[in-house]
Amino acid sequence: MLFKAPMSETDHPDRNRRKLYGRRKGPKLSDRQAGLRRTLLSELSFDPAQKAQSQFPDSVREFWLEVGFGAGEHLVWQAEQRSDVGLIGAEPYEMGVAKLLTKLEEKQLPNVRLYEGDGRDIIDSLPDASLGRFFLLFPDPWPKTRHHKRRFLQMAMLDQLARVLKPGAELRFATDDKSYLPYALERLLAHPKFEWLAKGPGDWNSRPADWPSTRYETKAIKGPPAFLRFVRTTNVTP
């Protein structure tokens, strides 16, 4: 029987992949949080290698993805409002996942699945036109110019999101960073497969009714937040 040698650091597939998030580890987890990571996380874990439908109840008719869900308040709210939607949340920060798990232990929402890792893994694995909505709320702004290449909203990523979003599906983005807002708008407006839904300043200065606030937003660390809603266009490019 042949055994494959352990993968070396130079062989690792993520070695040349640009990192888009900060630290994974934070404060020490409480006993309860550590216990939930061992038990509940395994029950709710999303596997990018498997079909999404097979990982949700039969009542789920559509899938939404939130990358970088923080403590999970927005994800939980959406899941409570839409039991027919499968909410997939990706978050590499261990403490964020732990905080969401404590909420899910209490609420027991069967239409939530979690991925403790890079959201690109999920996007890369999804079939074409499989998402009804995508959320990127208050991502790390990577404010230094030399780090802008680490920002999530790159043109290549928008190409991927255009592929996995259904025609008419929404991409929602929020930031309180004054440099990330024009950066994101420049790319979204330049992409031929996304259309901005805003008709006036009120459409990006305030949240829609189905967009709940979070603790991060309330802190308003850098300034007033902006809320962008773009739709995946239905036009087909020859």
User: For 156-197, what is each residue's pLDDT tens digit?
Assistant: 999 999 999 999 999 999 999 889 999 999 999 999 999 999
Judge whether residue 12 has pLDDT over 50: no
Question: Cβ distance 88 to 113 under 8 Å?
Answer: yes
Cα 24 to Cα 20, 53, 91, 124: the distances in Å are 12, 28, 9, 21
Q: What is the secondary structure of 170-230 as a DSSP string?
A: EEEEEE--TTHHHHHHHHHHH-TTEEE---STHHHHS--TTS---HHHHH-SSSS-EEEEE
Model confidence at 218, pLDDT cuts 50, 70, 90, reads confident
Structure-token pair, residue 217: 């937003």
Pairing between β-strand 62-67 and β-strand 131-137 as defined by DSSP bridges: parallel
pLDDT at 96: 81
The mean pLDDT of 198-205, rounded to a whole number, is 91
Helix (H) or strand (E) holding 150: none
Residue 15's pLDDT band (boundaries 50, 70, 90)? very low
Sheet with 131-137, side-by-side order of all strands: 112-115, 85-90, 62-67, 131-137, 165-175, 226-232, 194-196
* Residues above pLDDT 90, as percent of the chain: 63
Superfamily covering domain 31-232: Vaccinia Virus protein VP39 (3.40.50.150)
Per-residue confidence band for 153, with pLDDT thresholds at 50, 70 and 90? very high
Q: Residue 146's pLDDT is what?
A: 79
Sign of the torsion formed by the C-alpha atoms of 200, 202, 206 and 210: negative
| CB contact burial 139-153 (16+ within 10 A = b; e otherwise) | bebbeeeeeeebbbb
Tell me the pLDDT of the chain averaged across its residues: 85
Is pLDDT above 50 for 9?
no
pLDDT in tens, 46-92: 999 999 999 999 999 999 999 999 889 999 999 999 999 999 999 98
Catalytic residue annotation = 140
